[in-house]
Amino acid sequence: MTQYKNSLEFAKEQDAKDPLAKFRDEFYFPQNNQNQNQIYLCGNSLGLQPKRTQEYINQELKDWAKYGVEGHTLAKNPWVPYHEILTNKMAKIVGAKPKEVVMMNTLTVNLHLMMVSFYRPTDRKFKILIEKDAFPSDRYAVESQLRFHGISPEEGLLLWEPPEGEELCRFEDLQKIIEEQGNRIALMMIGSTNYYTGQSFPLKKIVQLGHQHEINVGFDLAHGAGNIQPNLHKTGADFAVWCSYKYLNSGPGSVGGCFVHERHENDLKLPRFAGWWGHDKESRFNMRQDFDPIPGAEGWQLSNPPILSLAAINASLSLFEEAGFDKLIQKSKNLTGYLEFLIKDLQDNRIQIITPSNFDERGCQLSLKLTGVSKSLFDNLIKDGVITDWREPNVIRIAPAPLYNNYEDVFKMVQSLKKHLG
């Protein structure tokens, strides 16, 4: 591990040595008011645009102009099987087998589709357990599924909470809930990496715990996909969902991802909401047959997907493939370690890093809880061209993305923070 130093010179030296540094030039950076690149540390909210994305989308626009409907089969990348181009690359990033992964819909839609199949409440076993401070959309989705089954959130929703006065959830507390109420719980749905604290959970241990009590387990990888290696297949999770516009840089509102473990690939007893794109590929266009799902995650598809959005995902995943995901994770650890070092070096007791300091319990994001500092600090950072994000009541989230951020970004961010803390 590198011995970090608090100097611009050190940051520049690290960037000069970084084998992944060239990928920074593959992205457009928004400009600050002096026409320089912003210090963009907000890839946890919306990743930057890869320069090659236009070319990938243009290819499809050209083929649509040239072929019309025949583009479904004649386009350079035929549209009917377009999503299959993404599968292998995506499967590597989430640690899954290709047949376990499909890009389709958007995150919350996929979450509902997965709960239709994997939340099967009975009179005795009907509760859903989520982590406290789950992302609002996840909570709304879970609560509405409970209500859909005639169960009120008051009786059906259980929260895994941090101990009083602490920020992070402890596995022991989850164990305790499961020991006490496991026979009542039908589903656990946990964010692999919490959007607020940046805490990554021990996914495999959570799945083992759940499965010992016949609880289905699913993960929301919105802040995990492209950020940590979740090793989905090995965790044994029943399902997972994610979006592609955060760390996966595929553009605002782009299509999301879904994982279904291979043990469910041919389970025709699982109820599901179906559509023609999930039907057997050979007979899909015969049109008059009973639903015959494609084995694996693809069988959960509903509609023919938006090709322009898949093209953006294709552009982005090609960059991940060229860089190598393992190398990106290594850089990410070093880069976020540097951010942590610089913030600690401020020795300012108004700042508390609430994200775990252990590399295995976090991705690239650090969340800073500020005490006795107003939100104007955050506004001043923006005026300096430093883009982070603010979460009420008093947290700044900073996420150096290893594909396009560098040590100099991190150094300058902390300089700006120091200046405005006064």
Which residues carry a binding-site annotation for pyridoxal 5'-phosphate?
Answer: 107-108, 135-138, 220, 223, 245, 276, 304
Distance CA 414, CA 4 (A): 14
Count the neighbouring beta carbons within 10 Å of the beta carbon of residue 291: 13
List the one residue from 14, 49, 87, 106 that touches ligand PLP (CB under 6 A).
106
CB of residue 44 vs ligand PLP: minimum separation in angstroms? 8
Q: Does 195 bind ligand PLP (CB under 6 A)?
A: yes
3-state helix vs strand vs coil in the chain, percent to 5: 45, 15, 40
- Check binding of 397 to ligand PLP (CB under 6 A): no
Binders of ligand PLP among residues 202 to 221 (CB under 6 A) are 220
Alpha carbons 129 and 113: distance in angstroms, whole number = 18
Residue 113 found at the interface with ligand PLP (CB under 6 A): no
Contact pick of 50, 191, 198, 218 for ligand PLP (by CB under 6 A)? 191
| Of positions 26, 60, 133, 138, contacts ligand PLP by CB under 6 A | 138
Burial (CB count within 10 angstroms: exposed 0-12, middle 13-18, buried 19+), residue 285: exposed
Least distance (Å) between residue 396 CB and ligand PLP: 17
CA atoms of 309 and 208, how far apart (whole Å): 36
| Cβ nearer to ligand PLP, comparing 222 with 399 | 222
How far apart CA 90 and CA 243 sit, in angstroms, is 12
Least Cα distance to 206 among 234, 244, 241 occurs for 234
CB-based burial label for 192 (10 Å; 0-12, 13-18, 19+): buried
| Cis-peptide into 153, omega within 30 deg | no
Of the pair 107, 215, the CB lying nearest ligand PLP is at 107
| 137: contact with ligand PLP by CB under 6 A | yes
Residue 92 or 223 having the CB closest to ligand PLP: 223
Residue from 20, 104, 107, 323 that binds ligand PLP (CB under 6 A)? 107
The residues in 240-279 that bind ligand PLP, with binding defined as CB under 6 A, are 243, 256
Among 222, 225, 343, 399, binds ligand PLP (CB under 6 A): 222
Q: Where are the alpha helices (DSSP H) in 95-214?
A: 107-118, 136-148, 153-156, 171-181, 203-212
Stretch touching ligand PLP by CB under 6 A, among 71-79, 103-111, 176-184, 265-273: 103-111
Question: In whole angstroms, what is the distance from residue 314 CA to residue 57 CA?
Answer: 9
Question: Which residues make up the interface to ligand PLP (CB under 6 A)?
Answer: 106-108, 135, 137-138, 191, 195, 220, 222-223, 243, 256
